[in-house]
Each structure stands twice: as C-alpha cells, then as structure tokens.
Amino acid sequence: MNISIYFEEAAQVSVAFIIGAIIGLEREFRSKPAGFRTMILISVGSCLYTILSKEISGSGGADRIASNIVTGIGFIGAGVIFKEGISVNGLTTAALIWVTAALGMAIGYHNYPLAIVVSAIVVITLFVLEPVQRFINKFHKVKDYKIRTVQLGNNFKSELEDFFNSRELAFRCMKMVKENNDAIYMYRISSPDRNYDLVNQFLLAHEEVKSFDV
C-alpha cells in the first residue's frame, strides 16, 4: 500500500475524532451518560470499521459491515435510555450516538461535505434550538403525576380531587394500584395557566403523601 494512503486514512480518523469531540463536549457539559470520550470512540470506531470494510471487501460487500455498525450502535443507544419515575430519559443521547456513528461512516467513505453539513445541523440542534424547545415547553398544559401515599391513603383521593375542583384544574385518574401496602395514583392534570406550583405544594404538605413524580 502506498504510504500516502496511510496518511489519507489517518486524516479521516482525525476528522472523525474532531467531530466526535465536538458532539461529546455538549453531552459532557450536560452530564449525560454518553459524554466526551464515548462520542469520540463511537465516531472514530465507525470511521475505522468503514475504512476496513472497503479494504477487506473491495467494491462488493462493504455494505454488510456498514449495516452491522448500525446494528451494534443500536445496542449502545439502547443502553443510555432509562425510565425515571414516569418519564423516559436518554432519547436525545441515543439519537446522538446514532448520528455520530453515521458521521464516522460518512468520513470513512470520504463524504466530507455531507459530514460537515450534518455536523453543523447537529451543533445547531444541540445549542441553538435548546431555547426554542424551552419556549415550546412553556405551552405544555398537561402533566402526569405519580403519587405514592402512606399505606392506602384512605382520605387522600377525595381530598386531592376536591383540591383540583376548587382550583378549577382538569384532571383524570388514570390508574390506581396497591404496592407493598402503599397506594399509587396516576393523575393527568391540566392547568389553564400552566402553574403547577400549587399542586406541588399541596402534595408536599399532605401528610399522607409518601412521594410523587412529575
């Protein structure tokens, strides 16, 4: 192999390193599960597998290794998705892992213009569009509450619903279960002014409430 090809491949891996580092910095700054080093390794690893697939398979069969990269990245992405309370976290990080691997593959196939454009889109999405997302979230009128009461909370349900009615909050009891002698209530609440502080204060002050998640 000509030594110039080695330098070319080293340049490809270096570009993959830089792109992975840029994306990883944002995840590290937000203390996400897949951070700086993880994104670098994903980008560089995908680039390396793509380079090797071209050398091993020649003009045919490289797509098989590329498809296996996508499958393997799916397992890594699934590992950062977790359920906390009644919300699911890690979806953005999982999507970033998927995109970072795709960027590494694009670099491995010498598609630098596409890699640069997509990298710019990712950076804009992560940094510029976050205030837009926060603005949109202000218009959310519905929240789900998971409330655990001490033992069965015999008077809690009626008191809670009386509180909702007195504050003109629309509500729906979605589920009631018993777990380890405690009662768990799932409520979907809609506040016209999107002010849920009153609900939170009521739950914090109620003596029968053991814990609640929003």
Interhelix angle 112-123/91-108, nearest 10 degrees: 160
Residues of the chain with pLDDT under 70: 1-2, 57-63, 83-88, 137-141, 152-154, 192-195
- Phi then psi for residue 142, to 5 deg, are -115, 135
- pLDDT of the residue at 132: 82
Domains and CATH numbers, the chain: 3-135 (no CATH), 142-213 (3.30.70.60)
Put simply, whether the predicted model's pTM sits higher than 0.75 gets the answer: no
* CA pair distance 193, 137, nearest whole angstrom: 13
pLDDT in tens, 104-136: 999 988 899 999 999 999 989 888 887 887 777
Asked if residues 182 and 167 have their Cβ atoms less than 8 Å apart, the reply is no
Phi, psi angles (nearest 5°) of residue 102: -65, -40
pLDDT for residue 113: 92
Round the CA-based radius of gyration of the chain to a whole number and report it.
Answer: 25
Cβ neighbour number for residue 92 with a 10 Å cutoff:
15
pLDDT in tens, 149-172: 887 666 788 888 888 888 888 888
| 52 close to 36: Cβ distance less than 8 angstroms | no
Structure tokens at 18: 């830089």
Residue type, position 197, single letter: D
